[in-house]
A = this chain, B = another copy of it.
Amino acid sequence: MHKTLPLPPLTAIRVFEAVARHGSFTNAASELGMTQAAVSYQIKVLEDRIGAPLFLRRPRQIALTEVGQRLAPVVTQVFEQLSEAYVSARGGAQGTLVISTIATFASNWLARRLGSFQIAHPSLAVRLQTDPHLVDFSREEVDIGIRSGRGDWPGLVAHRLINADFAPMLSPGLAASIGGVKEPADLLRLPLLDPGDPWWARWFAAANVPVEGLASRPGASMGAQVYEGNAATAGQGVAILTPAFFAAELADGRLIQPFDLLCDDSQAYWLVYPESRRNSPKISAFRQWILGELGPSKR
């Protein structure tokens, strides 16, 4: 057990510092935003604790006693140090934004846009941390998380970013090679990328296209969408993809989505952070940025 340091009443010391600096109870009170009576009280408290007067009460002014003169400079300096450390802690706490995200979102969405956030907030360092499990903000040093799920985490604020829905996509050239894709069954005349992905079976079922022979292996599709997207853009086949991850390709025509039919995994990607830090500047900044990014393109 560590020896406890003998410390003066801190409230009183705070008041003493201001009084010593001003040489006046009244002026110190106005700086501290309290009444002169409160200052008088605190000084008395401190004088009682120290066992000696700190000020001489002269008619229209006060003067530090010897004891007060020895105490005042130390106290002033101590508060300066403390203030600096405090301000720096508040500031430093805002200097780095740690994002814990799952790899899929990082590579398919965040990677290409994060630059604009960093340009908008040049004083904020961003640390990306991809991690498959749901971060526990109370035991890991992470500011915000991006996770899939249902958005109902207790104690956390969750903003829905994008739905994890999916539809077939292919390059315009590949579609033209069979004279255009008119109906879902047409897709079966083209190579399917990762045909074992359970999303295929689900989508064709929703489209009322009976399909056999789609190997039913466990899909490693999550996180690999970016590769399949590249392959599809290159015209190598039809991929089943989440449109929000390929908004740019769909917009500029590198990929087309021939059917509006979207299937749903009943999953979504969420931005999450602790309720208690809702108003942290860096978290506000990121929230504002990411929701703005989603607004214009795909909502």
> In the complex, which of the residues B5, B13, B58 contacts A80, with contact meaning CB atoms closer than 8 Å?
B5
**Shortest Cβ gap from A82 to chain B (Å):** 5
Measured between alpha carbons, how far is A85 from B7 in the docked complex, in Å? Answer: 9
Q: Which stretch (A89-97, A144-152, A154-162, A209-217) binds chain B?
A: A89-97
**Chain B residues with CB below 8 A from A74, complex form:** 81-82, 84-85
Task: Tell whether A70 pairs with B82 under 8 Å between CB atoms, given A22-B2, A65-B141, A139-B58.
Answer: no
Contact B11 A86 (CB under 8 A): no
Interface membership of A262, Cβ < 8 A: no
Contact A7 B140 (CB under 8 A): no
Count of chain copies: 2
Q: Which stretch (A45-53, A197-205, A250-258) binds chain B?
A: A45-53
Interface membership of A185, Cβ < 8 A: no
> In the complex, which of the residues B13, B49, B87, B281 contacts A82, with contact meaning CB atoms closer than 8 Å?
B13
> In the complex, which of the residues B11, B71, B80, B279 contacts A10, with contact meaning CB atoms closer than 8 Å?
B11
Q: Per-residue 0/1 for A61-89: is the Cβ within 8 Å of any B Cβ (1 yes, 0 no)?
A: 00001110011001101111111111111
Measured between alpha carbons, how far is A83 from B48 in the docked complex, in Å? Answer: 16
Measured between alpha carbons, how far is A31 from B7 in the docked complex, in Å? Answer: 13
> In the complex, which of the residues B75, B85, B138 contacts A57, with contact meaning CB atoms closer than 8 Å?
B138
The tally of residues in A whose CB lies under 8 Å from a CB in B reads: 60
Interface membership of A21, Cβ < 8 A: yes
Q: Per-residue 0/1 for A122-154: is the Cβ within 8 Å of any B Cβ (1 yes, 0 no)?
A: 000000000000000011110000000000000
Contact B2 A7 (CB under 8 A): no
Contact B21 A2 (CB under 8 A): yes
**Shortest Cβ gap from A212 to chain B (Å):** 51
* 28 A/B residue pairs, CB under 8 Å, sorted by A: A1-B27, A5-B79, A5-B80, A6-B83, A7-B82, A8-B86, A10-B10, A13-B82, A49-B90, A51-B94, A51-B280, A52-B94, A52-B277, A56-B138, A56-B141, A57-B138, A65-B141, A66-B92, A66-B96, A66-B141, A70-B88, A70-B89, A71-B85, A74-B81, A74-B82, A75-B82, A77-B81, A78-B85
A-B pairs with lowest CB-CB distance, top 10 = A52-B93, A74-B85, A10-B10, A5-B83, A8-B86, A71-B89, A57-B138, A67-B93, A78-B82, A51-B280
